[in-house]
Amino acid sequence: MLIGPVALPNPLFVAPMAGVTDRPFRQLCKRLGAGYAVSEMITSKPELQGTAKTQRRRDHRGESAPIAVQIAGTEPLLMAEAARDNIAHGAQVIDINMGCPAKKVCNVWAGSALMRDETLALRIVEAVVTAAAPHNVPVTLKMRTGWCAQTRNAVKLAQGAEALGVAMVTVHGRTRDQGYKGHAEYETIRAVKAALRIPVAANGDIASPEKAREVLAATGADALMVGRAAQGRPWIFREIAHFLATGEHLAAPATLQVRDWLLEHLDEHYQLYGEYSGVRSARKHIGWYTAGLPGATLFRARMNTVDDTAEQHRLVQAYFDTLARDHALLPERGTGAAHDDDEPVAA
């Protein structure tokens, strides 16, 4: 699959998620089967370019290609400058955020709020494409189906974006009003795919290999983008790839293999964030990896009191070492605290 001149190894994508898809997470997902990963969104506001958060999000040292960066904002000139700046920092694809439903983003008319102003949305697309063109960097667009159920305008905006030179469109099958509630619908994605010549990626509720196959059939999309289902389960991409290719499921990963993936993830996470922020921001990842596993509730309660990266690393290793004594393969995850603690695991 191609995004403009950029070739991808496969059409399984990691969705951009603020606070999640940092460089260590993207790298791990790529190693475990994702063909493409988009960064956390980077604001176009000039006054925020020097913050520690923005600097971390622009740090692509050691990241495997292609490097895709999502930018967010409401002013065409500033978005164009953000595109040029991120290209200078290594971006090989620029993605425009018109999909984020968060209130702090939409309240300033960025993210999916731009879908309410089609003229402004397309002015931003034109400015960013123009800025990226001299560098031969393709521009992509991530959007929702519309602002609300009464204004599903994804097809119209996607057609306008294609005419302005966008190389790919990703559609999350919900309106902004839905947030992440209810179920994604795929009819609008199918309509976008039918209306465009450029690749279209489908996003929304893809949490299993079977669902991936269902969404491909329902939409005719060229690619699939997985978000929340990859949190704590970055190997979902190789599971989907194997199922789509063979119709069969991969066995669950070895418990000690999951331990090694998580410890590798933590090491890279600590290097990016440092001691103080690293140990705290890693807690959510550890919680996702262990959710529903035997003894996880007690383990996480203890983990959340630790403020030292070395001790956090040691406790994670001890938890999985103990779990592996009874479960050579990662056990099926439970759905609640009762299962979570039916086999307490000492750490």
Q: Which residues are catalytic?
A: 100
- Which residue matches tokens 């988009």? 38
Dist CA 226 CA 237 (whole Å): 8
Note the Cα 111 to chain centre separation in Å: 15
What DSSP assignment string belongs to 72-132? E-S-HHHHHHHHHHHHHTT-SEEEEEE----HHHHTTT-GGGGGG-HHHHHHHHHHHHHHH
173: number of CA atoms within 13 Å, CB side?
A: 27
**For the purposes of burial, counting CB atoms within 10 Å of the CB of 121, is it exposed (0-12), middle (13-18) or buried (19 or more)?**
buried
- Angle at the Cα of 288 from the Cα atoms of 343 and 52, rounded to 5 degrees: 145
Phi, psi (5° rounding) for residue 201?
-110, 140
Sign of the dihedral defined by the CA atoms of residues 26, 29, 31, 35, in that order: negative
What kind and span of H or E run contains 269?
Answer: helix 255-290
**For the purposes of burial, counting CB atoms within 10 Å of the CB of 214, is it exposed (0-12), middle (13-18) or buried (19 or more)?**
middle
Query: Do 103 and 129 contact (CB within 8 A), yes or no?
Result: no
Reading the block at residue 305, the tokens are 């009191």
Between strands 6-7 and 2-3, the pairing is antiparallel
Count, residues in the chain? 347
